Amino acid sequence: DVNYGWLMRMIHANGASTFFICLYLHIGRGLYYSSYLLLLTWSSGIIIFLLIMITAFLGYVLPWGQMSFWGATVITNLMSAVPYLGTTLVNWIWGGFAVENATLTRFYSFHFVMPFIALMMMIIHLMFLHQTGSSNPMGSNSNLDKIPFHPYFSLKDLMSIIIVLFLLMLLSLLNPYILTDPENFIPANPLSTPIHIQPEWYFLFPYAILRSIPNKLGGVIAL
């Protein structure tokens, strides 16, 4: 309930989708140019990806709508598939015996902290990248082919950032709810389960893996 609070919220929500579009394009480019051969750079990138996925999931729970609540319930319950420790682990994550206010407080705290951990990993990722050199269409890493980062790449990156921010503002101002599940406008109700529980689009690939295997433990192992 502050001036332009709705705008900040829409930029934040749609910014997550924009971020994941850029992230998946980056991963796709890495696969195309065989960046996975640079083990340290690729491994640190995968860790960053997992941290960002966790951050996005924690943030998705915070609006406390129907999809938020039941998404949190379903995903955290996957931990119960861990032999012996499963139930204890789930109760520890929840801070009780169900997804409730204590869970929301914990998720909010972790949602705030996780980006800083991801940022630290990004610095490590860049350090590894500077050691090995970036992948390119020619597959060459010769000093003869290199050009200064500034002004060539710095201006190119600046232009890309301006275009992405322009598209994000356009989306946030003209059609801010296009990527939002309408079910999530309904306040969380533990007594009413939605007919279709589905995640945001950027979580669809792990969701598809989980749905394709009928056994809970099998789905967790596949993930």
Residues annotated as catalytic are 130, 134, 156-157, 200
SS3 133: coil
Task: Report which residue type is found at 159.
Answer: M
Report d(CA 82, CA 214) in Å as an integer. 16
**The token pair that represents 165 in the structure block:** 């921010």
Report d(CA 203, CA 133) in Å as an integer. 31
Spatial contact of 165 and 158, defined as CB atoms under 8 Å apart: no
φ, ψ of residue 189 in degrees (nearest 5): -135, 105
Spatial contact of 216 and 81, defined as CB atoms under 8 Å apart: yes
**The token pair that represents 101 in the structure block:** 């206010």
151 upstream amide cis, omega within 30 of 0: yes
DSSP symbol at 176: T
Reported as type and span, the H/E element at residue 203 is none
